[in-house]
Amino acid sequence: MTHPIPRTRIQEKNRARVLEAALEVFSRAGFRGATLDAIAGEAGLSKPNLLYYFASKEDIHVTLLEGLVDRWLDPLREMRAEGDPQAELLAYVRRKLQMSRDFPRESRLFAQEIVQGAPRIGAGLSTDLKALVDEKAGVIQAWMDAGKIAPSDPHHLIFSIWSLTQHYADFDVQVRAVLGEGRDPIDEAEGFLETLFTRLLTP
Amino acid sequence: MTHPIPRTRIQEKNRARVLEAALEVFSRAGFRGATLDAIAGEAGLSKPNLLYYFASKEDIHVTLLEGLVDRWLDPLREMRAEGDPQAELLAYVRRKLQMSRDFPRESRLFAQEIVQGAPRIGAGLSTDLKALVDEKAGVIQAWMDAGKIAPSDPHHLIFSIWSLTQHYADFDVQVRAVLGEGRDPIDEAEGFLETLFTRLLTP
DNA sequence: GTCTATAACAAGATAGAC
DNA sequence: GTCTATCTTGTTATAGAC
């Protein structure tokens, strides 16, 4: 990696511009489908200038994914063992759904990486991710054992929250096509998912 | 399209070989990430021979998707208004989960097409797909109105079945990384999803 | 730091022999 | 029908002037 960590303010700002543009293009077209031309155009820079700030196309992609994973798991990290179990889980669902509304491009970027077998972030999945999920699954299991929420498999409960919320970002085109014009999918999902998880979790 | 509908048995067989190989490669790498070289290698044919059977790379991809959409919706079509509501819905969930087990590559191919905005099958979504879903949502609504199952939004109920079942095919890598070795994700999902939908649907 | 020009290569598609 | 060789285009990346 010949490109050093940026030090000046202008470098940091231009790197951010590139990453914003790259997020837009990568999330729409995938890694191979995205071209440096498209990213450069979106960023309002020339193609060589792009490669002044990043070593390669792959460097941009990896930088994007690394910055993403942490933020992606924040809603789960915030779940507190000390809080009211059902309220904590429902709040987690709302936070996660909110991310589908606020960061759909990030969700789609991540989805494509996973669907393709996580070729670029595979390692972190079985270590960092697994550790966090196992910990939180333990908290949920304790809640179930105490009779605070109805019993089910904690790991699959977490999977269900991921899939149900991310669906509205990743499959947005399909959801909108089916619902038709003039409906706000995520707005409706909020009520539906509250109903679903309330019925699932109430002892 | 200069390539005619195949008539001989050997043509049909070779086209099938190409499609099988293409499914493998496209589902792993996406449309742009897949190369004709990779598909040819997987099929055991030369690259020009591939293009003897299909007009272009896109032709292969479109053929694959067209053959897929119909089969993909079969489990929903089989849902009968005359049956027991809860049993019909739970059976639909089981059929859909079974497809994630039996046809994960098809699921991932479809997922990538949708995530990228359905550039190649977009049209069909708002017509055929919407029509079928609207019809079945009507059936579900009638069941709810009759008090046979607990009320919720029928469209989002169908979305939830899609997302929860397809998750185990599309995010397989992540699910396995989190669960660790020696567990059968879909086997476990069967029990979890039966619990989830029973609690959601029971009046 | 940013640009124009271009090198180097990968990949879709075709020509033409067999 | 199938192959080897090749054309052509698009794309990543670099060279070098400013």
Q: Can you spell out the DSSP letters for chain B?
A: --SPPP-SHHHHHHHHHHHHHHHHHHHHHHHHH--HHHHHHHHTS-HHHHHHHSS-HHHHHHHHHHHHHHHHHHHHHT--TTS-HHHHHHHHHHHHHHHHHH-HHHHHHHHHHHHTT-TTTHHHIIIIIHHHHHHHHHHHHHHHHTTSS----HHHHHHHHHHHHHHHHHTHHHHHHHH-TT--HHHHHHHHHHHHHHHHH--
Residue with smallest Cα–C1' gap to D2 = B49
Cα dist from A31 to A39, A185, B30, B166, B188, whole Å: 11, 27, 9, 22, 33
Q: Which residue in chain B is spatially nearest to A129 when comparing CA positions? A: B178
For residue A86, being part of any structural domain is answered with: yes
Same domain, A86 and A148: yes
Chain A residues touching B130 at Cβ < 8 A = 177-178, 180
Residue with smallest Cα–C1' gap to C2 = A49
Nearest-by-Cβ selection for B177 from A28, A126, A173? A126
Chain B residues touching A114 at Cβ < 8 A = 170-171, 173-174
Same domain, A104 and A193: yes
Q: Provide the CATH number for the domain around residue B9.
A: 1.10.10.60
Query: For residue A144, what are the domain limits?
Result: 66-201
pLDDT of residue A122: 84
Mutate to test the interface with A, among B173, B176, B190, B194 (most CBs of A within 10 A): B173
Check if the beta carbon of residue A59 is closer than 8 Å to that of residue A48: no
Same domain, A135 and A197: yes
Same domain, B100 and B22: no
For residue A61, being part of any structural domain is answered with: no
Q: How far apart are CA A117 and CA B43, in angstroms?
A: 21
Half-sphere exposure of A114 (CA within 13 A, CB side): 28
For residue B80, being part of any structural domain is answered with: yes
Chain B residues touching A173 at Cβ < 8 A = 114, 117-118, 122, 125
Q: Cβ of A156 and B32 within 8 Å? A: no
Q: Provide the CATH number for the domain around residue A79.
A: 1.10.357.10
Q: Which residue in chain A is spatially nearest to B35 when comparing CA positions? A: A32
For residue A143, being part of any structural domain is answered with: yes
Same domain, A102 and A129: yes
DSSP A26-44: HHHHHHHH--HHHHHHHHT
Q: Which residues of chain A are modeled with pLDDT < 50?
A: 1
For residue A60, being part of any structural domain is answered with: no
Buried b (16+ CB within 10 A) or exposed e, B45-59: beeeebbebbeebee
Check if the beta carbon of residue A56 is closer than 8 Å to that of residue A48: no
Query: Kindly report the CA angle at A189 between A185 and A192, in degrees rounded to 5?
Result: 140
Q: Cβ of A192 and B153 within 8 Å? A: yes
Distance A53 CA to D14 C1' (A): 14
Q: Is B181 exposed, middle or buried (0-12, 13-18, 19+ CB in 10 A)?
A: exposed
Same domain, A36 and A86: no
> At residue B156, what is the residue type?
H
Same domain, B81 and B1: no
- Two tokens, residue B81: 């208004």
Given phi > 0 = left and psi -120 to 50 = alpha, else beta, which region is B60?
Answer: alpha
pLDDT of residue A114: 98
Task: Give pLDDT tens digits for A59-76.
Answer: 999 999 999 988 999 999
pLDDT of residue B5: 64
Measured in degrees and rounded to the nearest 5, phi and psi for residue A137 equal -65, -35
Distance B190 CA to C16 C1' (A): 57
Check if the beta carbon of residue B144 is closer than 8 Å to that of residue A195: no
Mutate to test the interface with A, among B89, B188, B196, B198 (most CBs of A within 10 A): B196
Report the Cα–Cα distance between both ends of chain A, in Å, rounded. Answer: 54
Q: Is A57 helix (H, G, I), strand (E, B) or coil?
A: helix
Same domain, B15 and B109: no
- Output Rg (C-alpha) for chain B, integer angstroms: 20
B54, B74, B97 - which closes a domain: B54
From residues 57-76 of A, which are strand D contacts by CB within 7 A? 57-58
pLDDT of residue A5: 63
Chain A closest-CA separation from residue B146 CA (Å): 19
Q: Cβ of A32 and B30 within 8 Å? A: yes
Chain A residues touching B115 at Cβ < 8 A = 108, 111-112, 115, 170-171
Residue with smallest Cα–C1' gap to C5 = A48
For residue B185, being part of any structural domain is answered with: yes
Mean pLDDT by 10 residues, chain B (203 residues): 67 95 98 98 97 97 94 96 98 98 98 96 89 98 98 99 98 98 97 99 98
pLDDT of residue A7: 65
Same domain, B42 and B134: no
Give the residue ranges with Cβ < 7 A from strand C. A 6, 8, 10-11, 14, 45-49, 52-53; B 34-37, 47-48, 51, 55-58
For residue B85, being part of any structural domain is answered with: yes
pLDDT of residue A139: 98
CB pairs under 8 A between A and B: 160
Q: How far apart are CA A62 and CA A64, in angstroms?
A: 5
Same domain, B112 and B27: no
pLDDT of residue B1: 45
Same domain, B72 and B44: no
For residue B177, being part of any structural domain is answered with: yes
Check if the beta carbon of residue A149 is closer than 8 Å to that of residue A85: yes
What is the tally of structural domains in chain A?
2
Check if the beta carbon of residue B130 is closer than 8 Å to that of residue A178: yes
Distance A49 CA to D7 C1' (A): 32
Task: Give pLDDT tens digits for A112-145.
Answer: 999 999 998 888 888 999 999 999 999 999 999 9
Chain D bases under 7 Å from protein CB?
Answer: 1-5, 10-16
Distance B73 CA to C8 C1' (A): 47
Same domain, A45 and A88: no
> At residue B21, what is the residue type?
A
